[in-house]
Amino acid sequence: MNFRTGEMNDGTAVMAQDELGLEGGLATLERDALRESSATPETPATATKATRKAAQPAEAKAVDMQADDKGSADLVSAAAAIMASATSDAAKAQPIDSKSVNPRRFTIVTDAARDAKLTIFGKDTLDDRYLLPGETYQDLFARVADAYADDQDHAQRLYDYISKLWFMPATPVLSNGGTGRGLPISCYLNSVEDSLEGIVKTWNENVWLASRGGGIGTYWGNVRGIGENVGLNGKTSGIIPFVRVMDSLTLAISQGSLRRGSAACYLDISHPEIEEFLEIRKSSGDFNRKALNLHHGVLLTDEFMEAVRDGAEFALRSPKDKSVRGKVDARSLFQKLVEVRLATGEPYIVFSDTVNRMMPKHHRDLGLKVSTSNLCSEITLPTGIDHLGNDRTAVCCLSSLNLETWDEWQGDKHFVEDVLRFLDNVLQDFIDRAPDEMARAKYSAARERSVGMGVMGFHSFLQKKGIAFESAMAKAWNLKMFRHIAAKADEASLLLAQERGPCPDAADMGVMQRFSCKMAIAPTASISIICGGTSACIEPIPANIYTHKTLSGSFVVKNPYLEKLLREKSKDSTNVWNSILERGGSVQHLEFLSADEKAVYKTSFEIDQRWLLEFSADRTPYIDQAQSLNLYIPADVDKWDLLMLHFQAWEKGIKSLYYLRSKSVQRAGFAGGVEADNTAEARRIELDVKQTDYEECLACQ
């Protein structure tokens, strides 16, 4: 049942060949290629459109899957069979009209003058990827508001919020809201069962999830390690060959599309193959045991972190029977983990016991467990077999509030409630329209109705107020904001439960909550650009001047608050901006700035990273999921300080860590392949850091 029209949806006839990424049907969800490059302050903030070439789909050759272990070559070729099967099924389905737009239900009064709130960079981003033919910026905002509003008044308010840049839906909602194409979901989380059937089932599901534009986070910790017994006389080949097939599928699904498939694999720190898993993105070694196109994350338990603290040995255990398969020095393994993060930015880290202790009480009482996260490490929802014996694939339904505009909306009694009503309707749209091949995701979404309302613009807000990031005042604002948002979100969840009914997971435990989870802090790289270039997520700004390189082109970006300050001081000159650019976006050399002003305009690499941990820990109790928390490390970082930053994240109760950034401006890379590999073969960390490109899934953003 479609919540918008009351009409039934055909959940089976929704997948055409172009929606599999073979014809470019996902062009509006293409990945931004955000990398640092040289720039001059005089360069106008305009861009030449990137040349686009649609790759031809590779022919898929069907092969027989054998239950026996025949080596990674056979496993990799099996990816082609799955791709061919999925493509064949999709071709038989009724195509979605990628140009269709749902009839408007409400009369929304738009204001073209609000285009002035958008930057040239933001407008070009909207032009390239989100506007439908003949659509204006305000039309886009009205289309999305109309698609997911309850009634006329709600629709008008939603339009006003979006057009005033008070909040912004995630990019899949902007692209697909109110159209007959695609789904409004950012990413998905699933778990692999310890059987060939379970592995192949997950491969097949991931094809469908990736084909609809979603990033994927998959947990492999249930699968036995290499050399364990299987059947009467067999031995397992371990997880690596199967992960390699997922790597091939991720590439195959996006051939011919402008957006690569995106997926991450997660594994427990106690898994027997953890040391090899840490290095699956290193180009050196046996190519047949690498997954150069996947992201990866590691789940760290309290037991492991306590062993690190105590300098003790740590047992690697079989997922099947928990028998000890080996022992390692916990500190050496922790050091290797940090070493790989320093070299490549990954793996992501999830402190799994912290996450499960802080999950919603009704989920704990039902016996559910969080075993994985998504591509950006902010989603912490249960996956796998639940208390009813059904398999769950978690769903990320996202939008972000703009803290830079806090003064405009914090007193609005409807705002947070309206955004959560909006997200509830977005989630229902997914449940109604997703195909049967995504049944596990539809089931999970319907049972828990979790959403992820996040934020952006925190550092921009501080700079607007003239407040240094490293200050007690910033700490106070951080707490005030998240207490307010969490309280309003709790009120909205209760109110919506009374109106529409609690989600089934909560209802089973007698809890009146519409959403199992309400908040998650996603990266927001794309939507922060749309929102006037506000600072991304809860991060400090990377530099006060830099060049964004995207598929839209190259844009010189100046900090508007610094630009205003320089103008007031009659110092807004090319020479001054050149000097800032030459120093990686820093203003610390400008003698005409006061010490307080220099503190306000410190960049991410100049800020003591302990402040990032402090703020993250302070807001953690008010966020029922997690935060995409990056750490920014200069090349001269002390080894002990780096290790202690990661250890303190666990001590402070932070749930997850995203990238470890290691140069002044880092944005997502577009080109495929492994990031620069400067990991020393020795087990000690080497700190001659090279420039590293980080790839991110921008569906969350």
Per-residue pLDDT at 624 exceeds 80: yes
User: Which candidate in 187, 376, 537, 700 is catalytic?
Assistant: 376
Q: What is the pLDDT of residue 228?
A: 84
**pLDDT reported for residue 696:** 55
Distance between CA atoms of 516 and 655, rounded to whole angstroms?
18
Q: Which residue has the higher pLDDT, 330 or 77?
A: 330
Q: Work out the average pLDDT over 342-370.
A: 96
Q: Which residues of 13-49 are buried (b: 16+ CB within 10 A; e: fewer)?
A: ebbbbbbbbbbbbbbbbbbbbbbbeebebeeebebee
Q: pLDDT tens across 255-287, in order?
A: 434 456 689 999 999 999 999 999 999 888 888
pLDDT at 12: 31
For residue 566, give both structure tokens: 């320089």
At residue 665, does pLDDT exceed 70? no
Q: Is the pLDDT of residue 45 over 50?
A: no
Nearest in space to 272 (alpha carbons), one of 240, 309, 294, 303 = 240
Q: What is the pLDDT of residue 23?
A: 30
Tell me the two tokens of residue 167: 């909040």
Question: What's the average model confidence in pLDDT over 388-410?
Answer: 97
What mean pLDDT is predicted for residues 311-325? Answer: 95
The active-site residue, picked from 374, 478, 544, 630, is 374
pLDDT category at 352 given cuts 50, 70, 90 is very high
Task: Inform me whether the pLDDT recorded for 65 exceeds 50.
Answer: no
pLDDT score for 226? 87
Specify the pLDDT at position 529: 93
pLDDT in tens, 504-520: 999 999 999 999 999 99
The answer to whether 607 touches 632, Cβ cutoff 8 Å, is yes
- Using 50, 70 and 90 to split pLDDT, how confident is the model at 50? very low
- Give me the pLDDT at residue 701, please: 59
Any catalytic annotation for residue 374?
yes
Residue 663 is predicted with a pLDDT of 66
Annotation says 376 is catalytic: yes
For residue 91 the two structure tokens come to 């071709």
Give the range among 41-55, 237-251, 493-507, 538-552 with minimum mean pLDDT.
41-55
- The predicted pLDDT at position 546 comes to 87
pLDDT band at residue 552, thresholds of 50, 70 and 90? low
Name the pLDDT band for 211 (thresholds 50, 70, 90): confident
In this prediction, residue 259 carries a pLDDT of 54
Which pLDDT band holds residue 581 (cuts at 50, 70, 90)? very high
Element (H, E) at 13: none
> How much is the mean pLDDT over the chain?
83
Between 626 and 55, the higher pLDDT residue: 626
Residue 551 pLDDT grade (very low, low, confident, very high; cuts 50, 70, 90):
low
User: For the purposes of burial, counting CB atoms within 10 Å of the CB of 272, is it exposed (0-12), middle (13-18) or buried (19 or more)?
Assistant: buried
**Mean pLDDT for the stretch of residues 554-577:** 94
- Structural domains in the chain, sorted by start: 29-94+105-475+520-559+601-640+647-701 (3.20.70.20)
Residue 36: the pLDDT is 35
Taking the C-alpha atoms of residue 344 and residue 340, their distance in angstroms, rounded to an integer, is 6
The whole-number pLDDT of residue 52 equals 33
Residue 60 has pLDDT above 60, yes or no: no
What average pLDDT does the segment 460-479 reach? 98
Residue type at 639 in one-letter notation: K
Closest of 534, 541, 531 to residue 661, by C-alpha: 541
Give the rounded percent of residues in the chain with a pLDDT score beyond 70: 78
pLDDT at 129: 86
Q: Around Cβ 180, how many Cβ atoms within 10 Å?
A: 15
More confident residue, 685 or 413: 413
Residue 689's pLDDT is 36
Rounded to an integer, the average pLDDT of 58-70 is 35
Report pLDDT digits (tens) over 90-138: 434 434 444 578 889 999 999 999 999 999 889 988 998 899 999 999 9
Specify the higher pLDDT residue, 33 or 646: 646
The reported pLDDT for the residue numbered 102 is 85
Its sign, for the CA torsion 533, 537, 542, 547, is negative
H or E stretch covering 660: strand 660-661
Q: For residue 691, give the 3-state DSSP assignment.
A: coil
Residue 86's pLDDT band (boundaries 50, 70, 90)?
Answer: low
Handedness of CA 264, 267, 272, 276 (dihedral sign): positive
**How are beta strands 545-550 and 313-317 bridged, if at all?**
unpaired
At residue 182 the predicted structure's pLDDT band, cuts being 50, 70 and 90, is confident
Kindly write down the DSSP assignment for every residue of 535-547, as one continuous string.
PPTTPPPS-SEEE
Terminal Cα-to-Cα distance of the chain (whole angstroms)? 28
Nearest alpha-carbon partner for 642 in 596, 687, 580, 691: 687
Tens of pLDDT along 216-251? 999 999 999 888 887 777 788 889 999 999 998 888
For the entire predicted model, the pTM comes to: 0.83
pLDDT of residue 662: 86
276, 378, 606, 695: the catalytic one is: 378
Please tell me the predicted confidence (pLDDT) of residue 84: 53
* Distance, CA of 616 to CA of 621 (rounded, Å): 10
Strand runs labelled E in 375-467: 384-385, 391-392, 394-396, 398-402, 452-456
